[in-house]
C-alpha cells in the first residue's frame, strides 16, 4: 500500500487534474487507477489548451473536421471525445463504487456563468454529446450557477460546482443540491446514482492573503511584523476547514436523513487548486492538511507525484477548527477581510476561465490553419 493508497483509505478520493489524449491512449491512466488509487479526473480549458497546442495527437481529428466547423465546435467535439474516453476508463471505478466515484468533469463555457438558462442548455448539450453516466458537468459557483446546478441535478445530470472560495457560496450550493434531491424524490425519481461535488479552491486564498500581509508587513512597525508574518500560509486551510464543518452540519439531521433513506449520497467537498504556489511551503501542504472522510482532492500530476513520494496521511480536515476560526478572526483584526478576498478571487477566477477559453479557441484556429484548413466564423 503506497502513500496514495493510504490517502484513499482515509476516505479521500484522489482525482487527477489533467487530461490529454496520450494519457488516455497509452494505458497510463488505467495503470494509475490501479497503482495510485486514482478514482476520477477533472479538466478545464487551460488543460485542454495545452493538450491541443502540444504535439500532433489531435491533428487527424482536426483534418477530418467539417469545413464549416467553428473553433468552438472543434473544441467541443475534441473535448467530448477525450472526456468520453476517460469516462470509459473510469467506468470500472464507477460500477465498483455504485456511482459514488469514477467521474470525469467537463466544463460549460464561462460566457454563461451569469445566465442560468444558457448554462442549463449548454450542460444538456454536453451531457448528450458525451453520453456517459459518470460524466460531471462543471458549472461555476456564482448565484446564477447555483440556480443552474439545481435544475441540472433535478434533471438527473451530475454536477461539479466549481470556483467556490467563500463558505457562504458553499452553503448556497449545498442548499441547491438538497432542493434538487427533494424535487426528484417528490416526483418519484431515483436519487441513488446522482452525484455532485462542490469544488472549493484552496491555495489561491493563501496567495492573495499573503500578498496583502506582505504589504502590511512592509508598512508596519518592527514590533508588529512577527505577528503579521505568522499569519502567512494559514488562511486557505482555515477557510477550507470551515467549509468542511458546514458540510458535516448540512449532511446530518432529519432533512438529510430522509434523503439518505432514499439512497442519496452526500455532495462531497472537492479540494481544488491544491498545488503549492509558494515554494516556501511544503509541496503537499494542501493535501496533507485537508484529509478526511467524504472528500475529494484533485491534484495536478506534479502534486500527485510529490504525495506518492513523501505525503503523510492523517485525519486533518476537522482538526482544530476553533484554531481555523481564530486565524480568520486575526486576519479580520489586521484589516484583511476574508469575504473581500473570496469575492475578488471569484471575479478573477471567472476572468481567468474566460481568458483560457479565448486562448484555447485562438490556438485552435491557428492550428487548423497550419493544417491547411479554414476556420468558419462564429
Which residues are identified as catalytic? 138
3-state SS record for 323-370: HHHHHHHHHHHCCCCHHHHHHHHHHHHHHHHHHHHHHHHHHHHHHHHH
Return the C-alpha torsion angle 91, 96, 98, 101, nearest 10. Answer: -60
Q: Compute CA distances 79 → 44, 190, 199, 360, whole Å.
A: 10, 29, 20, 12
- Using alpha carbons only, what angle is made at residue 33 by residues 27 and 36, rounded to the nearest 5 degrees? 115
Residue 66, burial from CB neighbour count under 10 angstroms (0-12, 13-18, 19+): exposed
Strands 159-164 and 196-201, bridge-based pairing: parallel
Grid coordinates given for 314:
492523517
Separation between Cα atoms, residue 112 and residue 138, nearest integer Å? 12
- Which residue in 304, 333, 336 sits closest to 12, CA to CA? 304
Q: Which residues pair with 160 in a beta bridge?
A: 138, 197
10 Å CB burial of residue 305 (0-12, 13-18, 19+) is middle
48 Cβ neighbours under 8 A, 6+ residues apart: 19, 75, 78, 79, 82, 360
Amino acid at each position: 500500500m503506497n502513500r496514495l493508497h493510504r490517502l484513499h483509505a482515509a476516505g479521500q478520493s484522489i482525482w487527477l487534474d489533467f487530461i490529454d489524449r496520450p494519457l488516455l491512449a497509452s494505458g497510463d491512466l488505467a495503470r494509475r487507477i490501479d497503482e495510485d488509487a486514482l478514482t476520477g479526473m477533472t479538466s478545464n480549458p487551460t488543460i485542454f489548451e495545452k493538450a491541443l497546442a502540444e504535439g500532433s495527437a489531435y491533428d487527424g481529428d482536426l483534418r477530418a473536421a467539417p469545413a464549416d466547423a467553428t473553433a468552438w465546435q472543434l473544441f467541443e467535439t475534441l473535448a467530448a471525445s477525450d472526456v468520453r474516453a476517460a469516462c470509459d476508463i473510469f467506468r470500472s471505478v464507477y460500477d465498483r463504487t455504485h456511482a459514488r466515484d469514477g467521474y470525469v468533469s467537463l466544463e460549460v463555457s464561462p460566457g454563461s456563468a451569469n445566465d442560468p438558462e444558457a448554462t442549463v442548455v449548454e450542460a444538456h448539450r454536453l451531457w448528450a454529446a458525451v453520453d456517459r453516466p459518470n460524466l460531471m458537468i462543471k458549472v461555476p459557483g456564482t448565484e446564477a450557477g447555483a440556480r443552474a446546478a439545481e435544475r441540472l441535478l433535478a434533471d438527473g445530470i451530475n454536477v461539479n460546482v466549481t470556483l467556490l472560495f467563500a463558505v457562504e457560496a458553499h452553503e448556497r450550493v449545498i442548499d441547491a443540491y438538497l432542493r434538487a434531491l427533494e424535487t426528484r424524490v417528490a416526483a418519484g425519481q431515483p436519487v441513488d446514482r446522482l452525484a455532485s461535488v462542490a469544488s472549493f479552491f484552496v491555495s489561491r486564498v493563501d496567495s492573495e492573503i499573503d500578498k496583502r500581509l506582505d504589504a502590511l508587513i512592509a508598512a508596519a512597525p518592527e514590533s508588529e511584523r512577527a505577528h503579521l508574518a505568522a499569519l502567512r500560509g494559514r488562511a486557505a486551510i482555515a477557510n477550507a476547514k470551515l467549509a468542511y464543518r458546514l458540510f458535516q452540519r448540512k449532511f446530518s439531521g432529519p432533512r438529510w436523513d430522509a434523503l439518505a433513506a432514499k439512497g442519496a449520497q452526500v455532495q462531497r467537498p472537492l479540494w481544488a487548486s491544491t498545488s503549492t504556489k509558494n515554494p516556501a511551503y511544503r509541496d503537499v501542504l494542501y493535501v496533507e492538511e485537508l484529509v478526511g472522510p467524504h472528500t475529494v482532492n484533485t491534484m495536478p500530476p506534479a502534486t500527485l507525484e510529490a504525495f506518492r513520494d513523501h505525503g503523510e496521511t492523517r485525519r486533518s480536515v476537522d482538526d482544530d477548527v476553533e484554531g481555523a476560526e481564530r486565524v480568520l478572526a486575526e486576519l479580520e483584526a489586521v484589516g484583511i477581510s476574508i469575504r473581500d478576498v473570496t469575492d475578488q478571487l471569484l471575479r478573477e477566477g471567472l476572468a481567468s476561465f474566460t481568458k483560457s477559453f479565448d486562448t484555447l479557441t485562438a490556438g485552435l484556429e491557428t492550428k487548423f490553419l497550419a493544417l491547411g484548413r479554414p476556420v468558419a466564423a462564429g
